[in-house]
Amino acid sequence: MPTQLAAALPYVRGSTVVDSRSRLGLFWETAGLDSGEAVTTVVSVLPVGTGWLRKAAESLRLAGRRASVRLEWREIPEHHGSVAGRALALDLRGLSPGQYRIEIVVQGPGGRRGRAQREITVRER
C-alpha cells in the first residue's frame, strides 16, 4: 500500500472514464475481522452492455471479443485498528474500449462476504 500521497496520485481518477493505456488504482477496506483471520479476495473486470451490433461484429470476426480480468488470492490482511485496507493497481492495456464492471468480493471465515462494484468506461486515447 502506498505510504505517501505522491505514490498514490498517479492512480487516482476523478471520473469513471479511463484511458485504455492507463493503470487504475483500487482501494478497499474490510472491517469486522479478527486479527489473523484469512480472507479470499476476488477482483473481476467484466464487460457489460454488449449490444447486438457488437455481438454480430464479434461473431463475424470484424471485432475482437472484449476481454475480462479475474484475480483471486488468499491472505491474512494487515490490520490497522479494527480495519484492514488493501490497494491494487490494474493495468487496463488488455481491455478493448467499452463499458466494464469492476467487482471486488472479500470472503472471510464462515462464508461471511463483502462485495462492492463500480462501472467504468474504457476509451482509447
Which string of DSSP letters, residue by residue, matches 76-95?
-PPEETTEEEEEEEEE-TTP
pLDDT confidence band for 24 (50 / 70 / 90) = confident
pTM of the model: 0.78
CATH number, domain 5-123, options 2.60.40.10, 3.40.50.300, 3.40.50.620, 3.30.70.20: 2.60.40.10
Q: What is the dihedral of CA 30, 33, 36, 40, to 10 degrees?
A: -60
Q: What cell does 99 get?
A: 463499458
What would the pLDDT profile of 100-124 be if each residue is shown by its tens digit? 999 999 998 888 899 999 999 999 8
- Beta carbons of 22 and 110 less than 8 angstroms apart: no
Mean pLDDT of 10-26: 85
Name the pLDDT band for 17 (thresholds 50, 70, 90): very high
Contact partners, residue 121, CB within 8 Å, separation at least 6: 16, 17, 18, 98, 99, 100
Q: Which long-range contacts (CB under 8 A, 24 or more apart) does 52-55 make?
A: 54/98
Report d(CA 89, CA 12) in Å as an integer: 10
User: 46-101: per-residue pLDDT in tens?
Assistant: 988 766 776 777 777 776 666 788 999 999 988 877 788 888 888 888 888 889 99
